[in-house]
Each structure stands twice: as structure tokens, then as C-alpha cells.
């Protein structure tokens, strides 16, 4: 049964990746602007023969379907083409920037899960015990405020408050330039630069988790087995930890896979605002420079990350609830 589940998920993941690559390829080719003409213009040469030579060099003179086939064959071999603006293979350039993006996503993911679940559980606990109801109201109001706040506005506001006014954290970059830190000093320096972008990226999802875990816990608290445990005299704290929290976390696991995919998209804006040297900032620069190969490679890598994270979320969900079948429904 598990082998069937795993095979089905892998096949779906591969089909999604193929669809993403094909769609992105045609969307990029439909964008206005000719990379060869842009390069020729920047080099000061407007000779049509020179432009055609550049198009032949980058394979842009071939039929569109031929270009797609060449790209698909290369992608299978991890050959994502050559960045004509950076004069570096696209795969090498993305792998150089990928650790920074993964670090930002991991930090934002952990912050949103831990803080969101803790705040949601605190709100549900205050409502469950019917004491300190103001805690529930405060948490839910704050979550709604974070949920409604645009990411770019929150990022810029955090720079103004915590960097410009208070001077607590650096505003831009991943580490101090020319500081030559090593060992723990370098780790702490990167951590200080990571705080603002990670918290800005995590704020929206933290609000979602807080509301989600609160609603889930309140629903589970009304179940018969919870009422039975309370009637037997089980302490309220144990009821929450043992009987409520485990089942209330199931929707969180489901949303976690979706969140990781959205984090990959939100990282583009966050990295641009904070000057974080990741794949998102690299894709933004590639878009401005009409570097199609690099942009396609960035789309491919981020899409692969999204598919992988959702695949892992499916596996975790299957472990937590073995009744989930290969088609995603309970058997």
C-alpha cells in the first residue's frame, strides 16, 4: 500500500515538474524584448549581422519546439544553459545562491510554525479554561493584523523601525562586508542579518498558523474522547497536550507543504527588499537583464523545491494518519 502511495506521488510530482517547465518556457519566450538585441545594444553594436550571430550563439534562431526539446534534454542532465550576462553556467550560479535562499526559508518556516502554533495554542487554552479571555482576543486581533499587512510594507517598516531608528539589526545583505568574521562570529553576524528578512517573511504564515491551530484545537476540544478524558479527571494541561494537540496539528502539517511553496515565492520580494543574496534576488536581476536562461533555471529550481516540499508533506501526513490512501483520501 505504501509503495503504491509513494509511486503515485512521485509520478504526479514528475508530471507537475514537466508542466511547470513547459509553461514557463513558453511564457518566457512570449515576454517582450530580444536578449540578443539587448546585448548588442549594450555593447554598442547595432549591426543586424552581429545580432543574428548572437541569436545563433544562444540558440534563439532555432524553432521554438526545438529550443524546448534542447532545454528539456539539458534539464534532465542538470544542464540549465549558460548565463550570457554573468558568463557562468546557470546551474553553477543558482547553486551558489541556493544556500542563502534555503537558510532564509528555513528560518522563516521555523519561526512561523513555532510562534504560530504557540500563539494559537495559548489563545485556545485561554478560551478552553474560560480564563483570561483577553489573551484570546489579543492573539486573534494581532494575527488578523499580520494577515492583512502586505509583505513589502512590513519589510520596509521593519527596516525603518529596527534598523534605521533603533539600530538593532542590519538592514541589507547577508553578512558584514569586509568584516572577515570567522567561526561563531560569522554565524552570529549572519544571524543578525537574518532576523529582519526571516521575521518579515514568516509574519503572514505565523498569523495563519495561529488562527488555524486555535480553530483546530477548539474543534477537537468538543470531541467525545476529550470530554471523556475531562470527565475522568485528567488534568486540563494533560488533556491539551496528549488528547488535543496531536489531532489539532494535522491541518498544520497539511498547510506546511503549501507554506513552503509560498515561501519560495515570497523569498523573491523579501530578498529584493533586504538585498539578501539568494535565488529570488538572482531571478529579479535576471528579469531586468532579459537573461532568459537564468530566469528559466530559477523557475525550475524553485518549482522543484515546491514540489519536493509538498511531496515530503504528503509523506509526513501519511505517517501521522496511515488511513490516507494513494489518492489522498482516507481509506
What pLDDT sits at residue 248?
Answer: 72
Q: Is the distance from CB of 117 to CB of 209 less than 8 angstroms?
A: yes
What pLDDT sits at residue 51?
Answer: 64
Residue 299 falls within a domain, yes or no?
no
Bridge partner list, 88: 83
Residue 240's domain spans which residues?
99-290
> pLDDT tens-digit profile of 217-255?
777 777 776 677 667 676 666 766 666 766 777 777 767
> pLDDT tens-digit profile of 53-108?
666 666 666 777 777 787 787 777 777 777 777 778 888 888 888 888 888 888 88
Residue 325 falls within a domain, yes or no?
no
Residue 215 falls within a domain, yes or no?
yes
Residue 160 falls within a domain, yes or no?
yes
Residue 182 falls within a domain, yes or no?
yes
105 contacts: CB under 8 Å, gap ≥ 6:
201, 260, 263, 264, 267
User: Per the structure, how many domains does the chain have?
Assistant: 1
Given a cut of 80, is residue 208 above it in pLDDT?
A: yes
When pLDDT is cut at 50, 70 and 90, the band that residue 167 belongs to is: confident
Q: What is the pTM of this model?
A: 0.73
Given a cut of 50, is residue 331 above it in pLDDT?
A: no
Residue 223 falls within a domain, yes or no?
yes
The CATH number of residue 215's host domain is 1.10.3720.10
Residue 298 falls within a domain, yes or no?
no
Given a cut of 70, is residue 38 above it in pLDDT?
A: no
CA distance 71 to 53: 20
Amino acid at each position: 500500500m505504501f509503495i503504491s502511495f509513494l509511486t503515485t506521488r512521485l509520478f504526479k510530482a514528475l508530471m507537475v515538474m514537466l508542466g511547470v517547465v513547459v509553461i514557463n518556457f513558453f511564457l518566457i519566450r512570449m515576454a517582450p524584448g530580444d536578449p540578443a538585441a539587448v546585448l548588442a545594444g549594450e555593447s554598442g553594436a547595432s549591426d543586424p549581422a552581429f545580432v543574428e550571430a548572437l541569436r545563433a550563439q544562444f540558440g534563439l534562431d532555432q524553432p521554438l519546439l526545438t529550443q524546448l526539446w534542447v532545454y528539456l534534454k539539458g534539464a534532465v542532465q542538470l544542464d540549465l544553459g549558460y548565463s550570457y550576462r554573468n558568463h557562468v553556467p546557470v546551474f553553477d550560479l543558482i547553486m551558489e545562491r541556493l544556500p542563502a535562499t534555503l537558510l532564509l526559508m528555513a528560518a522563516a518556516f521555523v519561526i512561523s510554525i513555532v510562534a504560530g502554533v504557540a500563539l494559537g495554542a495559548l489563545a485556545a487554552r485561554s478560551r478552553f479554561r474560560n480564563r483570561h479571555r483577553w489573551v484570546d482576543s489579543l492573539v486573534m486581533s494581532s494575527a488578523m493584523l499580520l494577515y492583512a499587512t502586505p509583505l513589502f510594507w512590513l519589510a520596509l517598516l521593519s527596516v525603518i523601525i529596527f534598523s534605521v531608528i533603533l539600530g538593532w539589526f542590519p538592514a541589507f545583505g547577508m553578512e558584514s562586508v569586509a568584516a572577515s568574521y570567522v567561526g561563531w562570529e560569522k554565524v552570529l553576524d549572519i544571524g543578525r542579518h537574518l532576523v529582519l528578512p526571516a521575521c518579515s517573511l514568516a509574519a503572514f504564515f505565523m498569523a495563519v498558523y495561529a488562527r488555524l491551530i486555535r480553530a483546530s484545537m477548539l474543534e477537537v476540544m468538543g470531541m467525545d474522547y476529550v470530554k471523556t478524558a475531562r470527565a475522568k479527571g485528567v488534568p486540563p494541561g494533560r488533556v491539551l497536550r496528549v488528547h488535543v494537540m496531536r489531532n489539532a496539528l494535522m491541518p498544520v502539517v497539511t498547510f506546511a507543504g503549501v507554506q513552503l511553496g509560498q515561501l519560495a515565492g515570497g523569498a523573491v520580494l523579501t530578498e529584493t527588499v533586504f538585498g539578501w543574496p539568494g535565488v529570488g534576488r538572482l531571478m529579479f536581476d535576471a528579469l531586468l537583464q532579459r537573461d532568459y536562461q537564468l530566469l528559466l533555471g530559477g523557475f525550475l529550481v524553485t518549482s522543484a523545491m515546491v514540489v519536493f516540499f509538498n511531496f515530503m508533506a504528503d509523506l509526513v501526513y501519511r505517517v501521522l494518519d496511515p488511513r490516507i490512501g494513494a489518492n489522498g483520501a482516507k481509506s
